[in-house]
């Protein structure tokens, strides 16, 4: 155990090494290796540039040298809030050249999340675009830097404005030899957890475990040098980064095409132009893509695999996808914390259409338990617990939370599943205090904390309600503090002013005179769920 994260017990680690899951290759060496193997092949494509493996490595080296000149050193954490552009990958590998640690954040995060993540990670630098999706990240970065003394540098891809550094200046640094002492068991990346607590948590992933995650996924997906992957969801998302995503494709010698936005007509043009073979979307995008695929003029014949994950895909939509796209559907049930389940490309249509897949590694251990932690019979619903060679053993700097989030080294996923005799899992619900709104995870306690600081709110509780488009919508139950009850608009405006990402919105507000509570005085969310179910029919 280090101060910051919980390492695997040595007995498990030795087993994972002996079995060849962990290969002792830090990401800096991974890049050298794939550059040696695939040097002149195309590694990355975006709307602006195409980079070969060699060019990617050279750029990463230059940026690493530029960062080193700024004083960024091995072990330092760096916040990365970049959209899907080649600079994301160049920066990511530059940080690994240095032995520094990227902290993944989402493009939608605003000052509440970013200040918290900067403080939690004690980041020394923050890398942003100038303007993306009509939002000026330089203003956000000014605010974050003013609140977090550890943040010494803000680096901007694009126009740095006054006072910040230009990523392009780092790129023009003369490359020099680099050596870092990264060990394969060291922290390699901090991912963002979906969250069930008051403040977002960070998931520590090591070189050994994260590379295995990507390689195992790449094997399941049959990737090779001819694979062309279209990154549609944000690359910072674990799904897009390593399931198999950017890292799995680069490991196989394939090409990653980065889409600036998920609009189907734009993405379909990319699929046609780049002869994309595999891509990944979430259930929210699925009907929109399906409509366009049916109507499309674009040639999607190169597409072999369409991965869908992040939220439950309905069996009905799964059937339509298979018919509409004419390629193999792969359901993906994953989590930043580790465990990755995928349907196999040769699973029967029934299995692909109705399950969320099975673990990618034979070393993944899965338990399905009841509320007392006792295993349930096969086929019955229970909470999914898991441990394995790429599932965390503790959140980053979160000793107190870790005491309840794990049991016997197993991570308590908070997902309710049924396990079939084949090992495939069906996700049927959730016991954790989270809303999965269109694949974006909202921690209920985080939003409740903000709502309860509103002067017109005495008590607040956030719950999911089924929604035909979003999958789940967020419903806030509010007990007002006085006669003047706040409206939904008041509260949404307030949450925005608090600096929360826009997806943590309230789709509906219901007023109550009193909050139902449990015998120990906690909000009774079961009762609120019953209320919701009753009212919804
Ligand atoms: C139901 N719920 C799902 C699915 C995730 C691949 C794919 C997704 C994520 C991800 C990821 C689901 N059906 N198919 O990291 O590598 C819900 C579960 C899970 C939580 C994790 C990947 N796929 N979920 O979504 O860390 O509740 O990762 O525990 O954002 O999403 O969320 P997140």
pLDDT at 163: 87
Please name the residue whose Cα sits nearest to atom 7 of ligand 1. 334
Number of other CB atoms surrounding residue 152 within 10 Å:
15
pLDDT at 1: 44
- Any atom of ligand 1 within 6 Å of the Cβ of 464: no
Residue 93, helix vs strand vs coil: helix
**How far is it, in rounded angstroms, from Cα 76 to Cα 260?**
29
Which is nearest to 223 in space by CA: 196, 254, 184, 192?
254
Q: Both tokens of residue 459?
A: 């008590």
Give helix 285-295 / helix 315-325 axis angle, nearest 10°: 30
Angle at 164 between CA 167 and CA 97, to 5 degrees: 35
pLDDT at 295: 86
Q: Please, is 63 exposed, middle or buried when counting C-beta atoms within 10 Å of its C-beta (0-12, 13-18, 19+)? A: buried
Please give the backbone phi and psi of residue 197, each rounded to the nearest 5 degrees, phi first.
Answer: -125, 180
- Bridge partners of 425? 419
- Which ipTM did the prediction report? 0.99
Cα 504 to ligand 1 centroid, rounded to whole Å: 17
Cα 76 to ligand 1 centroid, rounded to whole Å: 28
pLDDT at 2: 53
Output the tens digit of pLDDT for each of the chain's 537 residues. Answer: 456 999 999 999 999 999 999 999 999 999 999 999 999 999 999 999 999 999 999 999 999 999 999 999 999 999 999 999 999 999 999 999 999 999 999 999 999 999 999 999 999 999 999 999 999 999 999 999 999 999 999 999 999 998 899 999 999 999 999 888 899 999 999 999 988 888 999 999 999 999 999 999 999 999 999 999 999 999 999 999 999 999 999 999 999 999 999 999 999 999 999 999 999 999 999 999 999 998 877 899 999 999 999 999 999 999 999 888 989 999 999 999 999 999 999 999 999 999 999 999 999 999 999 999 999 999 999 999 999 999 999 999 999 999 999 999 999 999 999 999 999 999 999 999 999 999 999 999 999 999 999 999 999 999 999 999 999 999 999 999 998 999 999 999 999 999 999 999 999 999 999 999 999 989 999 999 999 998 544
Which strand (E) or helix (H) includes residue 58?
helix 53-70
Cα 251 to ligand 1 centroid, rounded to whole Å: 23
Q: Domains of the chain, with CATH numbers?
A: 27-182 (3.40.50.980), 211-216+225-237+252-430 (3.40.50.12780), 442-535 (3.30.300.30)
Q: Are 405 and 251 in contact (CB under 8 A)?
A: no
- Any atom of ligand 1 within 6 Å of the Cβ of 356: yes
- Any atom of ligand 1 within 6 Å of the Cβ of 210: no
Please give the backbone phi and psi of residue 433, each rounded to the nearest 5 degrees, phi first.
Answer: -85, 70
**How far is it, in rounded angstroms, from Cα 143 to Cα 132?**
17
- Any atom of ligand 1 within 6 Å of the Cβ of 194: yes
- Any atom of ligand 1 within 6 Å of the Cβ of 412: no
Which is nearest to 392 in space by CA: 326, 338, 332, 467?
338
Task: Match 């009753």 to its residue by tokens.
Answer: 534
Please name the residue whose Cα sits nearest to atom 30 of ligand 1. 194
Per residue in 171-196, pLDDT (tens digit) is: 999 999 988 889 999 999 999 998 88
Q: Please, is 487 exposed, middle or buried when counting C-beta atoms within 10 Å of its C-beta (0-12, 13-18, 19+)? A: exposed
Supply the DSSP symbol for 334.
Answer: E
Q: Are 279 and 229 in contact (CB under 8 A)?
A: yes
- Bridge partners of 306? 279, 329
Handedness of CA 205, 129, 141, 502 (dihedral sign): negative
User: How is 434-460 classified by DSSP, letter by letter?
Assistant: EEEETTEEEEHHHHHHHHTTSTTEEEE
Residue 127, helix vs strand vs coil: strand
pLDDT at 180: 80
Which strand (E) or helix (H) includes residue 215?
helix 207-220
pLDDT at 537: 42
- The Cα-based distances of 458 to 411, 449, 474, 481, 483 in angstroms read 34, 11, 19, 4, 11
**How far is it, in rounded angstroms, from Cα 76 to Cα 187?**
11
pLDDT at 511: 97
Task: Match 């009841």 to its residue by tokens.
Answer: 370
Q: Which residues contact 221 (CB under 8 A, 6 or more apart)?
A: 227, 244, 248, 278, 305, 307, 330, 342, 345
Strands 381-387 and 406-407: unpaired
Please give the backbone phi and psi of residue 354, each rounded to the nearest 5 degrees, phi first.
Answer: -130, 0
Q: Both tokens of residue 259?
A: 């889409």
- Any atom of ligand 1 within 6 Å of the Cβ of 402: no
pLDDT at 7: 95
- Any atom of ligand 1 within 6 Å of the Cβ of 413: yes
Select from 286, 334, 433 the residue to mutate for testing ligand 1; criterion: most ligand atoms less than 8 Å from CB.
334
Please name the residue whose Cα sits nearest to atom 19 of ligand 1. 335
Strands 434-437 and 440-443: antiparallel
**How far is it, in rounded angstroms, from Cα 298 to Cα 325?**
12
Residue 427, helix vs strand vs coil: strand
> What's the first-to-final CA gap in the chain, in angstroms?
50
**How far is it, in rounded angstroms, from Cα 276 to Cα 268?**
9
Select from 218, 311, 333, 392 the residue to mutate for testing ligand 1; criterion: most ligand atoms less than 8 Å from CB.
333
Cα 173 to ligand 1 centroid, rounded to whole Å: 39
**How far is it, in rounded angstroms, from Cα 527 to Cα 516?**
7
**How far is it, in rounded angstroms, from Cα 279 to Cα 325?**
12
**How far is it, in rounded angstroms, from Cα 500 to Cα 437?**
15
pLDDT at 298: 85
Atom of ligand 1 nearest to the CA of 193: 26
């Amino acid at each position: 155990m280090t101060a910051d994260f919980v390492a695997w017990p040595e007995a498990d680690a030795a087993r994972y090494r002996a079995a060849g899951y962990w290969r002792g290759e830090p990401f800096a060496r991974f890049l050298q290796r794939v550059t040696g193997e695939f040097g002149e092949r195309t590694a990355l494509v975006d709307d602006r540039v195409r980079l070969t493996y060699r060019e990617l490595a050279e750029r990463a080296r230059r940026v690493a040298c530029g960062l080193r000149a700024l004083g960024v050193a091995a072990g330092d954490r760096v916040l990365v809030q970049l959209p899907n552009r080649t600079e994301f990958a160049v920066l990511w590998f530059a940080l690994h050249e240095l032995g520094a640690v990227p902290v993944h954040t989402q493009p939608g995060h605003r000052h509440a999340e970013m200040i918290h993540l900067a403080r939690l990670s004690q980041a020394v630098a923050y890398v942003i675009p100038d303007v993306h999706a009509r939002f000026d990240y330089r203003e956000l970065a000014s605010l974050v830097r003013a609140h977090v003394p550890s943040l010494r540098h803000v680096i901007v891809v694009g126009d740095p404005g006054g006072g910040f550094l230009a990523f392009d200046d780092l790129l023009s640094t003369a490359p020099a030899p680099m050596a870092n002492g990264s060990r394969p068991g060291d922290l390699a990346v901090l991912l963002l957890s979906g969250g069930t607590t008051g403040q977002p948590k960070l998931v520590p992933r090591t070189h050994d475990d994260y590379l295995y995650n990507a390689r195992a996924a790449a094997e399941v997906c049959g990737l090779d040098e001819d694979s062309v992957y279209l990154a549609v969801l944000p690359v910072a998302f674990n799904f897009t980064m390593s399931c198999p995503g950017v890292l799995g494709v680069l490991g196989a010698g394939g090409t990653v095409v980065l889409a600036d936005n998920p609009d189907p007509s734009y993405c379909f043009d990319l699929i046609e132009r780049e002869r994309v073979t595999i891509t990944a979307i979430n259930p929210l995008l699925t009907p929109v893509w399906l409509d366009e695929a049916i109507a499309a003029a674009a040639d999607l014949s190169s597409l072999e695999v369409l991965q869908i994950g992040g939220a439950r895909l309905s069996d009905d939509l799964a059937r339509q996808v298979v018919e509409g796209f004419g390629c193999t559907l792969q359901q993906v049930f994953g989590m930043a914390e580790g465990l990755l389940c995928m349907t196999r490309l040769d699973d029967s249509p029934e299995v692909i259409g109705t399950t969320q897949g099975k673990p990618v590694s034979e070393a993944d251990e899965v338990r399905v338990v009841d509320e007392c932690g006792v295993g349930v019979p096969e086929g019955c619903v229970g909470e999914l617990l898991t441990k394995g060679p790429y599932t965390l053993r503790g959140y980053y700097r979160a000793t107190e939370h870790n005491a309840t989030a794990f049991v016997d080294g197993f991570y308590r996923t908070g997902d309710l599943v049924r396990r079939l005799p084949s090992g495939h899992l069906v996700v049927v619900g959730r016991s954790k205090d989270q809303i999965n709104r269109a694949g974006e995870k909202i921690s209920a306690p985080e939003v409740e904390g903000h709502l309860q600081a509103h002067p017109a709110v005495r008590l607040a509780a956030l719950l999911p309600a089924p929604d035909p488009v979003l999958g789940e919508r967020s419903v806030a139950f509010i007990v007002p503090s006085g006669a003047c009850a706040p409206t939904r608009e008041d509260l949404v405006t307030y949450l925005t002013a608090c600096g929360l990402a826009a997806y943590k919105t309230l789709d509906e507000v219901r007023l109550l005179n009193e909050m139902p509570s449990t015998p120990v005085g906690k909000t009774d969310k079961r009762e609120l769920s019953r209320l919701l179910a009753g009212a919804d029919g």
